[in-house]
Structure 1
């Protein structure tokens, strides 16, 4: 038998104990508690821009009111043009609300709607269409549009870049929808177009492009006016005078800043040559619709408060004139397509 000193034995015994228990320490058995890691919390949505929540509530309410007017068109005795306009408005205001759910509404305005979850819950519509006659229904819709229009104009004049155009486009739509409701006339269905992002123009470049289009508008009105009856011809001539004034103001603003003011071309290739009153009106609404994206780019690029106000007024006027000459209700007036 080999003799081992007591102290040496205790040291070896301790080492053996560690070797035996090592597998138990490295593979513990835990009773109770969660069996999977806790789920990560949902990300907090980005905050909305100032005025965006109010705009979202406007659009949700307008979508609901327009839908009620459309479904109740027979009971309210809406004319066919007004009933169609109410249906198109319901769709457009719903699209506006979808864009406004995103903290970057310009990004949502220029992309197709998705079927995924929204960044935040859609608010519940406030108010119902408490109308029993056609005039009451039209008045309630127009008044609700006017409330929204005031907020949109304020936001457009206080913002800049693509977001200013979001507000300006909503303002232009509100005004054009008011005009469409007033006129019970047949008009084309709103075109299904893919809205594109803005061109990265400077304020001077945007004004130069707008001026080129205003020159074309002046030419188009001059061609169309002779085909209208007397009263409508006078209306068209009044618009022509306004377009000439805008042309002169744009040219003066550019020259004041030392920028070139593009001159008018001798003639322009028109969408079509008018042959009667209907084709003359179609020429004008098509040209106003073609001008609107240039007014929108001018609004987005404007760095001066006065220029931004003039661009907004020009965009609104173009959207309204397009509808008044018989054109469709564009969902996002002022955005390139």
Structure 2
């Protein structure tokens, strides 16, 4: 049976979602993930206060493209009225849905009363969610964590109460805010939410899915409706096609050749320049090179070259040189997952 969000978003039998990641899941990165089979994506999270103030950086994050659909715009904030207004602004950008971030653990979000901080005040979280639901005609979804810390794992209550005020899907990261990204994600509570007979909306699991084997095993063990993948896709968008291929055939795809890695890296760079302009596009691409070529021995000199160049033609020349130098190297699956 197909997984649906609201009446109109059909995600197929078992969707793979790209997690919203600050400074990562911008349109250029989303493009290469879409090319590799991801079923649904989200923008980087956007500050509700920034949207209301018309801040340029926040407004730019509203950019979405037809080929990305279905896509959600994710917002966060600490003020209910600001979140309501930002939902109205997001609706005008015509995404397929609006997602609320109640999971971000970083200090400059959580310590300002936004993101995972709302896990300490469920009544406010519910009121905020209702305000967003009431402010838009689009489906509203939520991403959250198990709780604030080990003493307040309240995701069961969160799931029921947010469903009651109208959310259409819930993504759960299997850690508390106190854990940040340390230790292992615990999916058992995600499974318990899914098993709750009161819960009728799709439940997506997130956290530590970094291999084909894990995706396949956890799909069965934890009974989720789909899997959201974040960090494992950085520099390795092929993870989506590999997981899908395994689900469909039970067989492993070969890892990408050096030619494939160079070509996808080039595409990412070109899209980055198209979206942000030469200077910013080249600068922001620098964080990705090491990830695209992770596992290649003696690559450091090339990474140093790539991050030091400011002309896109010169960068493309170095990428071609990498293709020639390492043409015998195929990245094995065991070398890519972290």
Tell me the TM-score normalized by structure 1. Answer: 0.25
Structure number with the bigger relative contact order (C-alpha 8 A, sep ≥ 6) is 1
Work out which of the two has the higher radius of gyration on C-alpha atoms and give 1 or 2: 1
* More strand per residue: 2
For normalisation by structure 2, the TM-score amounts to 0.25
